[in-house]
Structure 1
């Protein structure tokens, strides 16, 4: 398990790399060595190589991503990232004696070596092992602890002489099944983190002072979990420890359920409360924080679960507030954001917004959608800008600059598009996006307005089955925001019956190209037989359209 010179820095190289960041503060009593906080500061921003080495199949491609190349690692660096988290699941590469397959370990070493060679900070961990076997610790304590110890003993030895830019993370999103409750969970979590710490430190060499990243239970930022990790870090008394939690936003907004379609005050407060909590508990007390994963949970199904403008506002504010609270963030990417073959972004505007947020605030707006009704004369449209300290310098339609006073009027933070300008922009009034206007500011990225010609959507009656029901929909340029489902007596139908608003892409899914809205088996599974359900579709223009569905066994009838 000894690493070659290809994968590791020599002892001289390790010493030479000790000055990781010019001019950073150094920890007391360790001349020439950066403090843990300085290193974590230098890691901002970070990116996750998700669904690759953490895949639970035979190799790194088993969850659909291509084999990692050195070119990909270079692309990550070229896109402005300073650190890369490489999640690793080990259990399927262990033999009966808990010995890691040498070929697999060598492959992980190779990719880590590429990243270190690009001067990236690197974080590796024990990843999906958490839900494959670590969670059985309450009922299989000794075997779990023995396997956990064996893995970290081998990993620590394999990377013992690696650059200090390499960090180890104890375990990803740990939890326990069959425990007696919070007290036992806290005890077991402390035992895992403490064992990890002891094993790595005992391996010697640079591992004696390597930065070690400790998660809370579930990597949750809830106060009790934060307090539990604080107790562990305090007891260890090691200045080279880092706390980690994950953040996927206010859950209803993150998956588009319960009517939380907008980045509103509730969603923002959830973010600030969490960032404040971990800052006050850790950063303010000399313990750096890495948000090891962040994003929106709805991305697991589609980047379109959250409306584009609302999505951009979320990430703009997240980047800004992380800077305010001195928290390092690592974007979760399971292959859906940065294409690992072409190295292009699937959503360039999202990538640009996130990258801009690392250093400056960008202006946004109450919406990025400007609707112009086709069946009525165009009317003035006014949108509130969130300037965030920026100044509007111009608005462009493609490369053509619009004329202030004629094509738009700005009064304070109120931006008005006159009816005559909208009529020109929508041209022949074909349904859908007729123009994309780019509002440019003296800092940050532009804010894009989609000018859309629309009419009231029209739904049509249909029949189908609970496993395959699609209602025909003439969207007429409009976009679905959410869907409500109620029985005749007003009670809520379908899954998550604590809310009438159903989860986007789990219970219903619009297909604009096919002109349909699918209602899923997940939705019908929790709909009563022979009890008609009134669906109310809410559209981003503000329009609402009702539709009735009734199931009888596996058959479904839909009535417009």
Structure 2
């Protein structure tokens, strides 16, 4: 049984009992209001059709007295069947079909309209129904039921394609698994529309259609537009959106749709600016939340179904008693979001809606709480979203986690396994709405070693793909240079792209360090084949010779001393050459041949606000730093570990030949002596002693 079928059956079982109760309520309502003026108009439209299936939208306008509780009945002329409905409970008995209101759209004022929709199946032909009855009264387009039927029906042609042809693209509305699958892979326009106070405030240029076209050309199928609205609307109670801002958002949405993207918009930093006060300011937050989503849904009511709404980015709440209350208030807001969007009609009636876990975290408790929301909402066109920024010590380089090791991978696998088993295996699609490593940034080089980052990228692509998770990389400008429309590191993008479809081989390192003086020996690396096979090594346009330049024994690749001698050239400090390990599939693995000597350091003096250690790196690169007091206890911030956080607590400056100790480091260092141990990627270590006295700092080797 397919995942979609499982999900439909799960929803249908819950709906049947509710249908009988709702029908009884509707019958009683008709009986006691028989003397009320009655009349209605129905617009039935087929919005999508494919071999054997279709999507229909139904607008019901009440022309009589107000009603509270409704049931719409009709008969399909060609034996069609409803397979899945939304905004109403839709059931069939023979050729007769009945739609009963949902809890949030039971009331229909005079001249008001409610909308619902459904997916259906057909064989032979798909002739639209022409007669509808609302609460037992035939809808004629007038009051009293004397006029001829006026149901508005969109023209429907008989299918002209073979039943063997797959469904059209995009997938029909109401099929969230197919929609989310079609969104893979995705890209975030980060630090732009979400920037405070405006689009360019956080360093990115104005968004252009050329940028969006370029991103689309790079293979991305969806784009997430994080949007902060709080700086772009008026005061209570209307919270009227700034027309210029709304038009700018609409322009970027329209450009994105024109380029063929699926587009996801949300309330972004609003989450911590004001939504987080919901527990202690429920009325004001609810009114503001309603006002914003009401205006947003109205603005995009008739936009393409490829536009997707996400309720809140990284929801978080202040002043709660704990997670149980956090889950409840998030449930309240998500339910309000779904109600507002669905009630707005148009394409919004069937639009894919995305709901986050608390903090968009993937701990099991967060996932279970969102599962309970899905069970309560019983809306067939929802998706779940979480964020993933990797194992935290590795993502910021603290506690000695400089490498993509088994513990880092297990964190990834465990996260993706949980979201798959909780949601995807039950027919609920999942979007990893943001992912990357926290501190990978072109402005902070060296925090994460490049080869270790590439291994992470390769693994994310693989483990997400085999679990049917859609990923949307967070790019705030650290990957794509938006001014030049080029990737800051082509190899990083190549790994992104390749991981969408296949695995790549890697190795234990992308660096081979060779001493600048002395005898040159052979050098070995361990291959991570990832299901591939090594095809050979290449330097420039020349293939290296197996047996002469290198050997392979199992997963061990060894460069011969003769090959290393040739590749290291004149042994000048730094990278002297780069070779590629080529595998049977995926991107080649680049290996830098680096000449080095052990780094040296010198005495220094300064203050806690400005202190730098003179360092001759001599071809080497800094990996991490430890700090301990004289008694061996851990010194400085994060004193649960001796290894400090790269760039936040210390930073190499290769151009100035220094290692900077940050004020954030000294903020938690006691007066007295501290021993620093610097670890370099060659395996070399240096030991340095600093002594703090108030704001004065001295250092010696």
The normalised TM-score by structure 2 is 0.76
Aligned counterparts of 2:477 and 2:454: Cα–Cα separation in 1: 19
Aligned counterparts of 1:430 and 1:204: Cα–Cα separation in 2: 69
Aligned partner of 2:452 in structure 1 is 310
Deviations 1:253-284 (A, max 9, x none): 00000011111110000000000000000000
- Say which of 513, 526, 529 aligns to 2:655: 513
Q: Does 1:40 align with 2:40?
A: no
Q: Does 1:491 align with 2:630?
A: no
Aligned partner of 1:89 in structure 2 is 228
Aligned partner of 1:421 in structure 2 is 563
Q: Is the 8 A contact 1:125 1:171 kept in 2?
A: yes
Aligned partner of 1:11 in structure 2 is none
- Say which of 538, 544, 552 aligns to 2:685: 544
Q: Does 1:289 align with 2:289?
A: no
SS state at 1:532 partner: strand
Q: Is the 8 A contact 2:46 2:54 kept in 1?
A: no
Aligned partner of 2:462 in structure 1 is 320
**CA shift for structure 1 position 409:** 1.2
- Say which of 484, 503, 524 aligns to 2:666: 524
Aligned counterparts of 2:276 and 2:565: Cα–Cα separation in 1: 60
Q: Is the 8 A contact 1:320 1:361 kept in 2?
A: yes
**CA shift for structure 1 position 376:** 2.4
Aligned counterparts of 1:19 and 1:212: Cα–Cα separation in 2: 22
Q: Does 1:71 align with 2:213?
A: no
Moved more, 72-81 or 538-547: 538-547
**CA shift for structure 1 position 554:** 1.5
- Say which of 285, 288, 292 aligns to 1:151: 292
Aligned counterparts of 1:186 and 1:37: Cα–Cα separation in 2: 25
Aligned counterparts of 2:593 and 2:615: Cα–Cα separation in 1: 21
Aligned counterparts of 2:496 and 2:314: Cα–Cα separation in 1: 24
| Residues 1:15 and 1:83: Cα distance change in structure 2 (over 3 Å) | farther
Q: Does 1:259 align with 2:400?
A: yes
**CA shift for structure 1 position 446:** 0.5
| Residues 1:112 and 1:320: Cα distance change in structure 2 (over 3 Å) | same
Aligned residues: 543
**CA shift for structure 1 position 393:** 2.1
**CA shift for structure 1 position 24:** 11
Residues 317-466 of structure 1: pairs in structure 2 closer than 5 A: 317-466=459-608
**CA shift for structure 1 position 476:** 1.2
Deviations 1:203-240 (A, max 9, x none): 00110110000000100001111111000011000110
Aligned counterparts of 1:177 and 1:465: Cα–Cα separation in 2: 38
Aligned partner of 2:112 in structure 1 is none
Give the structure with the higher percent strand.
Answer: 2
Aligned counterparts of 2:217 and 2:515: Cα–Cα separation in 1: 44
Aligned counterparts of 1:149 and 1:303: Cα–Cα separation in 2: 43
Aligned counterparts of 1:304 and 1:94: Cα–Cα separation in 2: 41
SS state at 1:186 partner: helix
Moved more, 392-401 or 342-351: 392-401
SS state at 1:137 partner: helix
Aligned counterparts of 1:309 and 1:368: Cα–Cα separation in 2: 5
Aligned counterparts of 1:357 and 1:464: Cα–Cα separation in 2: 47
Aligned counterparts of 1:24 and 1:480: Cα–Cα separation in 2: 60
User: Following superposition, which runs of at least 4 residues in structure 1 exceed 3 angstroms of deviation?
Assistant: 22-29
Aligned partner of 2:156 in structure 1 is none
SS state at 1:111 partner: helix
Aligned counterparts of 2:83 and 2:484: Cα–Cα separation in 1: 45
Q: Is the 8 A contact 1:126 1:169 kept in 2?
A: yes
Deviations 1:141-160 (A, max 9, x none): 11111111111000000001
| Residues 1:235 and 1:196: Cα distance change in structure 2 (over 3 Å) | same
- Compute the RMSD of aligned alpha carbons: 1.8
Aligned partner of 2:439 in structure 1 is 298
Aligned counterparts of 1:78 and 1:554: Cα–Cα separation in 2: 54
Q: Does 1:52 align with 2:155?
A: no
Q: Is the 8 A contact 1:434 1:452 kept in 2?
A: yes
Q: Is the 8 A contact 2:360 2:387 kept in 1?
A: yes
Aligned partner of 1:235 in structure 2 is 376
Aligned counterparts of 1:221 and 1:44: Cα–Cα separation in 2: 20
SS state at 2:439 partner: helix
**CA shift for structure 1 position 557:** 0.5
Aligned counterparts of 2:381 and 2:520: Cα–Cα separation in 1: 62
Aligned counterparts of 2:654 and 2:497: Cα–Cα separation in 1: 30
Aligned counterparts of 1:135 and 1:437: Cα–Cα separation in 2: 52
| Residues 1:23 and 1:502: Cα distance change in structure 2 (over 3 Å) | farther
Q: Is the 8 A contact 1:25 1:38 kept in 2?
A: no
| Residues 1:521 and 1:61: Cα distance change in structure 2 (over 3 Å) | same
Aligned partner of 1:162 in structure 2 is 303
Structure 1 gap segments, 5+ residues each: 1-13
Aligned partner of 1:80 in structure 2 is 219
SS state at 2:280 partner: coil
| Residues 1:255 and 1:23: Cα distance change in structure 2 (over 3 Å) | farther
Aligned counterparts of 1:136 and 1:42: Cα–Cα separation in 2: 36
Aligned partner of 1:10 in structure 2 is none
Aligned counterparts of 2:561 and 2:689: Cα–Cα separation in 1: 37
SS state at 1:329 partner: strand
Deviations 1:461-481 (A, max 9, x none): 111111111111111111111
**CA shift for structure 1 position 336:** 1.4
Structure 2 gap segments, 5+ residues each: 1-44, 56-81, 85-118, 121-166
Aligned partner of 1:135 in structure 2 is 276
Deviations 1:286-327 (A, max 9, x none): 100000000001125625311011100001011000001100
